[in-house]
Amino acid sequence: MPNILDSLWNSMALFLSALFFHGMALRSIREKKPAWFQIKFANEIINYALGVYYGLLGVYFIIRGLPGMDSGIYTDMLLNILIVLHLFSSAGPATIALILIVTGKLLLGDALFANFIYVFLIIGFHFICMEVAKLRLSSVQKVVLVKLTAIPLMLFYLHQKIHLAYTLDSLPVWILYFAVSFFITFIIISASYYIDTSNKLIYDLQQSTILDPLTGLTNFRHFEKAFEAAFNYATLKKSNLSVIIIDIDYFKRVNDTYGHLAGNGVLSTFSQMLLKISFPPNTVISRIGGEEFAIILPNIAVSETEHLAEKIRRKVEKIDVPIVASGSIITISAGIANYDGSNYSSANDLLHAADQALYNAKRNGRNQVHIRETEPVI
């Protein structure tokens, strides 16, 4: 029995180490590539990579449980892998992990008949986890339920693997094993919950520092960093970089006439409209002032930028706004400046050029797009 308990604790330590590296990797990705978690395809790739990661961990546990490698029962962790993936990810990654585990069990196991029975049982356990994950129960209730359903599988496994007899004399050993197994599973689930929750809280905190709470767009602080980085990259690659600055026409009049709540409604509605437009990859949309917005567009020509700005201007005239009942129509003015890799010496110069173009659009009657003519650097 001491050997069984030792292997349980050792396998738990390995599992917790795997959870730690998993958490650190996701945190790093969230910091460096936050958009990946908002793009469906990229998010699925991350999830399936987790399935492969834990599937390979399961294969490692299978190897450690082979005769001559370890006298214990590392396979208990295979069930915990499926539990964690079903509760904290989804059925897809859990299925990937299951396929790797089943393959490893059939290829590496020493008793073919017993392995086929084990594979049949663990596949059944996988589908049980899938259904339990859908139930409206607390995480604790779900864990208890799936662990109870795992008892038949473990009864079979322990009897086959370490020849634990089905006798009354062995009953205390069975009870002690299942008690320790339940305890270890709850430790692993608690660690998974802590890592998952802390990562999401850190991400939300980071997002709160770069997002404008009213519009959901990035704020001026983030815009400055993103714009400087985009300009440096365009300079390095000698590529195009366009920036559009948008101002909602006569917005002060909206606030004075209809109140700040109506003004906030206009800002929110306009922002949601922007988010629904299909922009090129790596576009950054920010609110940089009260009613002023900026769009960073890497790697596109000035003609395409003008087309997008005109598209936005036309859409604004047609959108429903909180003050539409009064017959008011919201319009915008936009200024565009384009960097071709050499015509501006700094990001500030490019931004100033776009701001001048916006000023010209407003001076010429508003509700129009103006392009700042390229001025070569002297």
Model pTM score: 0.64
- Cα separation values, 45 from 36, 39, 192, Å: 9, 10, 20
pLDDT in tens, 311-354: 999 999 888 766 645 556 889 999 999 999 888 999 999 999 99
Give the residues of the chain that fall short of pLDDT 70. 1-5, 34-35, 38, 67-75, 109-110, 160-163, 321-328, 373-378
- For residue range 242-262, list pLDDT tens digits in order: 999 999 999 988 888 888 888
Encode pLDDT of 66-86 as tens digits.
765 554 556 678 899 999 999
Domain ranges of the chain: 2-210, 220-371
3 state DSSP class of 35: helix
Per-residue model confidence (pLDDT) at position 110: 67
How far is Cα of residue 59 from the mean position of the Cα atoms in its chain? Answer: 27
Instruction: Check residue 69 and give its pLDDT.
Output: 53
- The answer to whether 306 is a known catalytic residue is no
**pLDDT score at 6:** 74
To the question of domain 220-371 being in CATH 3.40.50.300, the answer is: no
The catalytic position among 224, 291, 292, 310 is: 291
